[in-house]
Every structure is written in C-alpha cells, then in structure tokens.
Amino acid sequence: MDTEGPKADSVEAGSASAGEYSVHLNRKVMGIWLAATCLVILLEAFALISGVGSGIDWFLLIAFVGVGAVLALHVFDTRPVLIVNQHGVHDRRISRQIIPWDAMLWYKIEAQPAMPFLGVGLVDEVAKQVGVHPWALLFKNQPAPFGKLKGYRIWPHRTLGERHEFVRAVQRFAPPMHDR
C-alpha cells in the first residue's frame, strides 16, 4: 500500500524524480548551431587546402573547431541542465553543484512573461564552494553584511521547459525569505 500519497503534485518538465523541476537544453536548436559551425569549418578547411586561405583562416579554423566541440558536448549531453527542488537550484550552465536555498543571501523571482529568471545573491565563499563559473555574474562586488556579494541569474533560456513552470517551481520550493 502506498503511504506516501499521490505524486501528482510534482512540478515536472522531463523530471527524473518526482517532486522536482528539471529540464534539458533544447538540443534541436543547439544541433542547428552545430551544423552551421561544421559548415564553416569545412569552408575554412577547403580554403586552406586549396591555397586561397591565409594566416587568419588558420585562426578561424581553430576557433570554429573549438566552438564546434563545445556545441557537440551540449548537443550530446542528456543530463538535465536546470533543476529546482526542495534542496536548492542547480543550473549546470552557471555552477558545478546545487546552490542550496539556505546558502543564498537573497533570491527574487522575476516572473516576466518573455523570460522569467531567478536572481540569486551569494557571498564569494559560497560561490566558490558550489563552483559558480566566473562568466555567470549578473553583477559583482556589491557590499553585503558578510562580505562582497555577487548576483547571478538563473533562467530557463534555451531549454525545453515552459517558462511558467519554472516560476511555479521556484515559488513552490523556495522557502520564505523571512525564515533566513
């Protein structure tokens, strides 16, 4: 007999476990960018092989091979890219680990219809602990009671999830700010 009750209250978008919101990258769009990058690589290689290319073409070829490799990693990666649950938020595009709700100095959901996002404020030590990537900054070095504060934006951009589901998941799982 099921003593846990129904799991229909889960906010899911391709979620692997009930009770969390998780979405994947839009692999179709990333695949189109990968195809375009491969075309540029082929054109640059052809220019170099035929003797028409110059030194800048070697640089462009190397640069586009690097971009193509990064795009290929994203296209063939099947892990969810954005997870919101009772423990916190994990956006693999900005951090290596989950950012716990209780480690956030503040958070604010901006429920804009075009592109909602969750603004998160972290102290440097917490940002280093969860492995936040340096390019993920929304703003940096704002004064805070516990040191320098950095702000980050977590959003469902380029994912397969619905934007309103992201807002509902944050509203459901985020503890009230006055409990901090």
Domain range holding 67? 27-76
Residues 151 and 71 occupy one common structural domain: no
Residues 55 and 134 occupy one common structural domain: no
At 58-114, the pLDDT tens digits run 999 999 999 999 999 888 988 898 899 999 999 888 888 999 998 888 888 888 877
Residues 120 and 71 occupy one common structural domain: no
Residues 92 and 150 occupy one common structural domain: yes
At 112-134, the pLDDT tens digits run 877 888 888 887 788 888 888 76
For residue 39, name the pLDDT band (cuts at 50, 70, 90).
very high
Residues 175 and 102 occupy one common structural domain: yes
Residues 45 and 100 occupy one common structural domain: no
Residues 96 and 173 occupy one common structural domain: yes
Inside any domain, residue 9: no
Inside any domain, residue 162: yes
Residues 60 and 144 occupy one common structural domain: no
Residues 133 and 164 occupy one common structural domain: yes
Spatial distance between the Cα atoms of 179 and 126, rounded to a whole number of angstroms: 19
Q: What is the secondary structure of 136-172 as a DSSP string?
A: GEEEEEEEETTEEEEEEEE--TTBSS-HHHHHHHHHH
Inside any domain, residue 160: yes
Q: How many domains does the chain have?
A: 2
- Host H or E run for residue 49: helix 27-50
